Structure 1
Amino acid sequence: MNTQTLAARRTGSTWVWASTLAIPLLLVAPAIWNGYPLLQWDTGGYLARWYEGYLVPSRSTVFGLYLHFGEDSGFWINLGIQALATLWIVQLMLRVFGMARPSRLAAVSGILIVTTALPWLASMLLTDIFAGLSVLSLFILVLHGDKISAIEKILLFAFTAFAGATHSATLAVLLGLCCVGWIAQPFLRARIAVSGLVQGSLTIVTGAIMLLAANFALSGQLAWTPGGYGVAFGRMLQDGIVAQYLHDHCPEQRLKLCPYRNQLPPTADDFLWGHSMFDKLGRFQGLNDEMGFIVLHSLAEHPVWQAEAATIATAQQLFHVATGEGSDVWLPHTYGIIERYIPKQAARMHAARQQHRGIDFTAVNWIHVPVALASLLLIIAIVTSAIRRRRLDDLTLLAATVGFALLGNAFICGVISGPHDRYGARMVWIATLTALIAAFRHFADGDAPLRDDSFSL
């Protein structure tokens, strides 16, 4: 072995170790800077699941158990898992695209850390980090299973199932992607293996079983996480549909909300989480049946209005991508849960910058929002170009997968909950990763011939 080869290997080894150590630390840099894992409005609801032993709307018991696992470490174990899972899946993505050089991993990871919400997601005690990662893990498992080892397949399967169980919206996006895959498979037999689709589909089943089992273990109820009607009701209230329904049917139906039909707040957040008549009427426990009744009957009575509202909400959600929503405000519920159930961490939590000075994401979003929107445009350009050329390669399949995931996420979150920046930011960074893979392939490997996985449609 000559001196030049030996030096190259040493350089490569240095890059590997530097990347392995530096990238996870940078991914949780916001939490390190904060002095405590970042919190969000919803964090308290997940933390309380272990202690309260009953189901509440939109709070996965699986994620609650995951947080409880890391409590004794001050939740740094959870952040370590999130950072290492991110590094692992990004590394796998580069490997299946033939770009598994340590310098490439360092460059791609560094750009994502600076230009996207990724480190803020990895540093937060929330399910959001798993939304985008699960799309990538499902993509690798279904379409590139032949390029990874058996152990990696098992780990990807378990990770995807767990990620789906942490949030119903994430599970719905993964289910939608599997459905698209089954529809496309007869036309793309050479690229989409039935065995891969079966494995991907089984992750959905496993995630659902995992959630039902956790709900039963903690609450004694073999039931899905509640809350669908409540959040859907909030979106319809915001669109004016609830007010119209109450105007048309009060007082003959004697609904609890009839006396308040002229006092409804303007937004879903004001109704569900502000100090509104929702509190007076018993919140979800007191109003869930009535909200479900109004949701179902409004769908039947105003289908065109509902369709128009759903289309607008989906379109708006695609462009709501700013970082930091829900973590830049006072979080009394989450603080109260930590003080009540984990009092030994209360002092450290209150001493953190987030609670002491707050976090201003204005400057961060000067970078994140333009990058996110440009990445969305590039995804459209890649797919459009492939359709025009009637040729499909692995990059186009990735862009299409990410595009469907973003569209599905926008539809599910926008239609049910209403457009929020948080729902877009937790997913759109995978579009930036796709853009980086495309850029490296074009500029760094532009002279290399296209691999045999390209074929005519």
Structure 2
Amino acid sequence: MQKSIMIRSTLVTIFVFLLIWPLALNRTAILYPDTGRYLMNGLNLWHAIDARHTGVRSTSLAGNTAGAIGASQGGPTSVAKPKVTLGGRSPYYGAFAWGARAFGGLGTITIAQALWLALVLVVALPEFGLRRPHTQIVTVAAISMISPLAFFIDVIMPDVFIGVVVVAVFVLWYRWPRTWMPRLWWLFNILAAVLFHTSALLLAVLLLACLALAEHRSWQNRRHQAISIFSALAIGLCGSVAMDLAIKHATGRAVTPIPYLLARTIGDGTAARVLREDCPARGYATCRFVNQFPLTENEFLWGRPGLVGWNQIDPSSETAIVREQWPIVFAALTRYPGQQLSRSAHNLVWMFFTLDVDEFGYSIKLDHSLDNKLFDAQRIEAESGRIYSQHLTLRLLSVIWHITYIVAVSFVIVALLFRRRLRISRLTLQVASTMLLALVLSAAIQGVLGGVWGRYTARIAWLAILAAIVIAVDILRGRTRSLS
């Protein structure tokens, strides 16, 4: 038992060092425009917890002011009140980031995320058939270098946890642990991923549904797995809803969901056609954008030079557009189903085969509705990195990772097609098919419902590399057995 603990502890330490090379190369963590909103929402959550324990009502949520945490990090003690509270920017992840930040600079958040992923991998790899320590070290080194996993660990965003929920669902579904401790560990990872990022919830639900359909004959034998996973997902959903209600109670403003689906159909052109036909007769608040069409989904939501986007207009119009999202989208689907189906299929294929991290090299402009003075220290620290000083070219990394991703996906697909000839084991077949299915579902979610950005594929591309390694190891083992 002690020997096993020592081996795992050593592996975790090695994995952490392998996963933080972007931090060492860039010399600091990487920020993204959305990072500011995550940090602000997490700061508000810390204030709510502090008020709960001290009995003193914090003004952070009510007025979005930053108190002790901001001051302790060298920032001012208050920030401007934003117009609205946007959904999709988890206070839970922000609180996790601030908690890690309390032990040092932005790099401590990266180290915390690397430690989390190292623990996930050290427990998961034996369940994937990679039991020997040296095989695990080589696997993590390969995943770290030839996939964007380590890069996303260095990004102060919850994107890295999307892959974690896939691994957790796989282990619980196919490799149901015999003891409670590992079961609770994987259920905790599902819960955390769902609380950190709403995309994890939809991906996990769709993945579990597909696995249940594929294994419908053995459904009775897997009911405990299904109930446990769905319970974790339900608790995560309730936690997100409870947070939205708490924000509404504290601020007097309901959380405003981002109209991703409306933006997607405007970008695809179907909703744009509906609005051209129905405006101004229907009186949609969205009619204000008709003269600017055609627009991409991101231009509609966030604007561009010379164009005010949805997130930059007055709060009442923002809310009105969110309310009218569904009738406009429904009209687009019923009037132009062929065009929407064609565009969605195109987006899915594009998302599945496209990977890049170029956008992380843009100049840091945090959410415009925040008083960025609170985050000046963080922004200055991040802009001192080699990425923002153009000494580290993300274009080159994107090309390398894109090539390795395409090669890995192609290898996995070929191996699945010729699985009998290659004599792939049942476990390897399960790993490869689940990882490939997760990549397809993620591409469908983003291509059909969200934005078409290469970073969405990049954040889980490491699953393809992992599946390819598992297949390669299995094939080599088979040949070794045949020779012996």
TM-score (norm 1): 0.85
Deviates more, 1:217-226 or 1:24-33: 217-226
**Is 2:246 the counterpart of 1:202?**
no
What is the rounded CA distance, in whole Å, between the counterparts of 2:134 and 2:437 in structure 1?
30
What is the rounded CA distance, in whole Å, between the counterparts of 2:6 and 2:286 in structure 1?
65
* 2:57 aligned partner: none
**Is 2:186 the counterpart of 1:170?**
no
CA shift for structure 1 position 226? 4.7
Deviates more, 1:231-240 or 1:116-125: 231-240
| Counterpart secondary structure, 1:261 | helix
- Structure 1 residues 99 and 26, CA gap change in structure 2 (3 angstroms): closer
- Structure 1 residues 18 and 269, CA gap change in structure 2 (3 angstroms): same
What is the rounded CA distance, in whole Å, between the counterparts of 2:25 and 2:177 in structure 1?
40
CA shift for structure 1 position 189? 5.5
What is the rounded CA distance, in whole Å, between the counterparts of 1:448 and 1:220 in structure 2?
64
The answer as to whether partners of 1:260 and 1:277 remain within 8 angstroms in 2 is: no
* 1:311 aligned partner: 345
* 2:359 aligned partner: 326
Aligned equivalent of 1:126, options 157, 169, 179: 157
TM-score (norm 2): 0.80
What is the count of residue pairs matched by the alignment? 436
The answer as to whether partners of 1:281 and 1:287 remain within 8 angstroms in 2 is: no
| Residues 51-450 of structure 1: pairs in structure 2 closer than 5 A | 51=44, 53=61, 55-73=85-103, 74-146=105-177, 149-188=179-218, 193-220=222-249, 226-227=256-257, 230-258=259-287, 260-275=289-304, 276-278=307-309, 281-282=313-314, 284-285=318-319, 287-322=321-356, 324-333=357-366, 339-357=372-390, 359-386=392-419, 393-444=426-477, 446-448=479-481
CA shift for structure 1 position 314? 1.0
The answer as to whether partners of 2:40 and 2:94 remain within 8 angstroms in 1 is: yes
Deviations 1:190-210 (A, max 9, x none): 9x6222222222221121122
The answer as to whether partners of 2:152 and 2:459 remain within 8 angstroms in 1 is: yes
The answer as to whether partners of 2:201 and 2:233 remain within 8 angstroms in 1 is: yes
The answer as to whether partners of 2:30 and 2:382 remain within 8 angstroms in 1 is: no
CA shift for structure 1 position 117? 0.1
Percent identity over the alignment is: 19
The answer as to whether partners of 1:116 and 1:429 remain within 8 angstroms in 2 is: yes
Deviations 1:45-98 (A, max 9, x none): 211213464630321222222223223233444322321222222222321244
Deviates more, 1:253-262 or 1:373-382: 253-262
What is the rounded CA distance, in whole Å, between the counterparts of 1:79 and 1:431 in structure 2?
23
The answer as to whether partners of 1:338 and 1:345 remain within 8 angstroms in 2 is: no
Where does the alignment leave 5 or more consecutive residues of structure 2 unmatched? 45-59, 62-83
What is the rounded CA distance, in whole Å, between the counterparts of 2:192 and 2:253 in structure 1?
17
- RMSD between superposed Cα atoms in Å: 3.2
- Structure 1 residues 294 and 119, CA gap change in structure 2 (3 angstroms): same
Where does the alignment leave 5 or more consecutive residues of structure 1 unmatched? 1-9, 450-457
